[in-house]
């Protein structure tokens, strides 16, 4: 932060939470981040981005958990253990990674809306707990409807070129920030990678706020 | 374990600790594992293996922290924070990853000896705290001498074809177990990857022992 910001005492230090709805480790954080942040008075900035182009830039045509067989086998077991630890429901998706373009566009459309967290949790649970396809207007519409939201309006708006482009731009911004995987937490230009660093990111955020 | 083993009550469940002396995250675990294991009455089986052939099998001609630039930049910062958290000395090596073939052969030669842990810690500290080259007979000899060990005898023995071969075989065994990175902890066929899983591995080990 600048000296001016420091002196003004008006610094807000949010936790930027960068995630992809098809990312299993993002699931762990997305289900936990609100409780952790709320307890410390930390604001979350939700930043959905596409892992696909990030992986492509590394020469991978798919998730490393698909490309690297041994790591993929490990991650399946690791997720079972992690979800047991956090008391989260879990089932390895029969299609992995799932196509998530539509719910990702809805997430970008609503990233500053109060319903965003709940929407993402519901989509994540369909993917990672109920093993359901999540990229159709029907499924996304049902989720939005069940939240009492104008489903058709939101889906139509999120399919506008402006929001397609917004998701592409946000993905480019992720890469410009040095983001190479998900989840990633960014606090005041400091990067924290993976669900295993969520608590460290929260602690750092609280520390910077208190300075 | 088998039912017979369970009934006999004589089951020993060691923590297999798979590491490479050139691996920075192995450093974090190597400096911590003894204290954590001792407090729970857990035996450690030290299993040095070479990451190089593992990376080569993934199509990488070097560490992912070199091949993948953004991840490499992140890891440098992450290591600073992690070492601060664990109160460990730290300096990113000016050569990374360092050549470690000689100390790795000595580690395989001594992997069941009481001096092994201390030897590995000293080599790790030279590499990751003092930024020193560690692959020469002089440096390895000095370390062994300072521990009161017959340095020349150990170095000569570790350079025998038998121990060169032992390191190759142990590296193959790692891959056969599904090991794709370091550090890796193996408890009764369950794999735990990375320093972030050390506590989970210890807890699992204690749990299996108590059954």
Q: What is the ipTM of this complex?
A: 0.90
Percent residues over pLDDT 90 in chain A: 84
Report residue B209's pLDDT band, with 50, 70 and 90 as the boundaries.
confident
Which of B1, B15, B23, B14 lies closest to B128, judged by CA?
A: B23
Distance CA A70, CA A93 (A): 18
Active site residues per annotation of A: 23
- Contact status, residue A189 vs residue A182, Cβ threshold 8 Å: no
| Interchain contact, A70 vs B179, CB within 8 Å | yes
- Phi and psi for A129 in degrees, rounded to 5? -115, -35
Of A68, A178, A200, the CB nearest to B58: A68
Q: Map residue B149 onto helix, strand or coil.
A: coil
**CA closest to B78 among chain A residues:** A192
Rg (CA), chain B: 17
Choice between A6 and A101, residue whose per-residue pLDDT is larger: A101
- Residues of B within 8 A of A196 (CB-CB) are 194, 196
- Residues of A within 8 A of B180 (CB-CB) are 68, 70-71, 74
Domain boundaries, given as residue ranges, for chain A: 36-210
Q: How far is A69 from chain B (nearest CA, A)?
A: 9
- Residues of B within 8 A of A172 (CB-CB) are none
Distance CA B47, CA A124 (A): 38
Report residue A3's pLDDT band, with 50, 70 and 90 as the boundaries.
low
A209 has a pLDDT exceeding 90 = no
- Edge-first strand order for the sheet with A15-19 is A44-48, A15-19, A184-187, A190-193
- What is the pTM for the complete model shown? 0.92
**CA closest to B82 among chain A residues:** A200
- For B190, the enclosing helix (H) or strand (E) is strand B190-193
Q: Map residue B184 onto helix, strand or coil.
A: strand
Report residue B185's pLDDT band, with 50, 70 and 90 as the boundaries.
very high
What pLDDT score was predicted for residue A11?
A: 60
Size of interface A-B (CB pairs under 8 A): 41
The answer to whether B181 contacts chain A (CB < 8 Å) is: yes
What pLDDT score was predicted for residue B98?
A: 94
Q: Averaged over A102-115, what is the pLDDT?
A: 97
What pLDDT score was predicted for residue B3?
A: 52
- Residues of A within 8 A of B190 (CB-CB) are 77
Report residue B10's pLDDT band, with 50, 70 and 90 as the boundaries.
very low
pLDDT digits (tens, 9 = 90+) for A136-160: 999 999 999 999 999 999 999 999 9
To probe the interface with B, which of A62, A180, A190, A195 has the most B CB atoms within 10 Å? A180
The answer to whether A188 contacts chain B (CB < 8 Å) is: no
Q: Averaged over B96-108, what is the pLDDT?
A: 96
**CA closest to B57 among chain A residues:** A68
Mean pLDDT, chain B, as a whole number?
Answer: 93
Which of A79, A202, A65 lies closest to A129, judged by CA?
A: A79
The answer to whether A58 contacts chain B (CB < 8 Å) is: yes
| Interchain contact, B175 vs A70, CB within 8 Å | yes
Q: Where are the beta strands (DSSP E) in chain A?
A: 15-19, 44-48, 184-187, 190-193
* CATH class of the domain defined by A36-210: alpha beta
The answer to whether A66 contacts chain B (CB < 8 Å) is: no
Distance CA A177, CA A175 (A): 5
B2 has a pLDDT exceeding 60 = no
Q: Which of A118-122, B3-7, B199-203 has the lowest mean pLDDT?
A: B3-7
The DSSP line for A24-77 is HHHHHHHTTHHHHHHTTTPPEEEEE--HHHHHHHTT-SS-HHHHSHHHHHHHHH
Distance CA A110, CA B157 (A): 66
Distance CA B68, CA B82 (A): 20
Report residue B9's pLDDT band, with 50, 70 and 90 as the boundaries.
very low
Report residue A134's pLDDT band, with 50, 70 and 90 as the boundaries.
very high
What pLDDT score was predicted for residue A5?
A: 47
A7 has a pLDDT exceeding 60 = no
What pLDDT score was predicted for residue B55?
A: 87
Q: Provide the 10 A C-beta neighbour count for residue A113.
A: 14
Q: Which of A127-131, A199-203, A207-211, B14-18 has the lowest mean pLDDT?
A: A207-211
- Contact status, residue B40 vs residue B206, Cβ threshold 8 Å: yes
B211 has a pLDDT exceeding 90 = no
pLDDT digits (tens, 9 = 90+) for B44-85: 999 999 999 998 888 888 888 888 899 999 999 999 999 999
Q: Averaged over B131-146, what is the pLDDT?
A: 98
What pLDDT score was predicted for residue B45?
A: 97
- Contact status, residue B90 vs residue B79, Cβ threshold 8 Å: yes
Rg (CA), chain A: 17
A6 has a pLDDT exceeding 70 = no
Which of B29, B13, B157 lies closest to B88, judged by CA?
A: B29
Q: Which of A5-14, A41-50, A90-99 has the lowest mean pLDDT?
A: A5-14
CB proximity list for A133: less than 8 A, separation 6 or greater: A95, A98, A99, A139
Handedness of CA A75, A77, A79, A82 (dihedral sign): negative
Distance CA B202, CA B211 (A): 15
pLDDT digits (tens, 9 = 90+) for B163-184: 999 999 999 999 999 999 999 9
Q: And the tokens for B147?
A: 């521990």
What pLDDT score was predicted for residue A58?
A: 83
Match 């000016």 to its residue by tokens: B94
| Interchain contact, B70 vs A180, CB within 8 Å | yes
- Residues of A within 8 A of B178 (CB-CB) are 70, 73-74
What pLDDT score was predicted for residue B11?
A: 61
Of A58, A181, A196, the CB nearest to B196: A196
Which of A118, A66, A115 lies closest to A95, judged by CA?
A: A66
A72 has a pLDDT exceeding 90 = yes
What pLDDT score was predicted for residue A62?
A: 85
Distance CA B88, CA B96 (A): 19
- Residues of A within 8 A of B77 (CB-CB) are 190-191
């Amino acid at each position: 932060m600048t000296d001016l910001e420091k002196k003004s005492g008006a610094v807000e230090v949010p936790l930027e939470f960068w995630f992809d709805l098809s990312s299993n480790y993002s699931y762990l954080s997305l289900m936990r981040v609100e409780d952790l942040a709320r307890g410390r008075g930390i604001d979350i900035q939700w930043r959905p981005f596409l892992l696909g182009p990030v992986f492509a830039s590394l020469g991978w045509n798919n998730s490393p958990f698909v490309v690297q067989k041994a790591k993929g086998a490990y991650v399946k077991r690791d997720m079972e253990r992690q979800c047991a630890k956090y008391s989260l429901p879990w089932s390895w998706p029969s299609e992995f990674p799932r196509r998530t373009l539509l719910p990702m566009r809805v997430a970008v459309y609503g990233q500053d809306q109060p319903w965003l967290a709940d929407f993402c949790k519901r989509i994540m649970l369909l993917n990672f707990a109920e093993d359901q396809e999540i990229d159709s207007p029907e499924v996304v519409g049902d989720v939005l409807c069940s939240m009492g939201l104008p489903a058709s309006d939101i889906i139509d708006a999120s399919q506008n070129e402006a929001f397609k482009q917004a998701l592409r731009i946000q993905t480019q911004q992720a890469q410009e920030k040095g983001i190479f995987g998900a989840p990633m937490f960014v606090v005041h230009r400091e990067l924290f990678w993976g669900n295993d660093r969520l608590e460290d990111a929260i602690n750092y955020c609280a520390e910077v706020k208190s300075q």
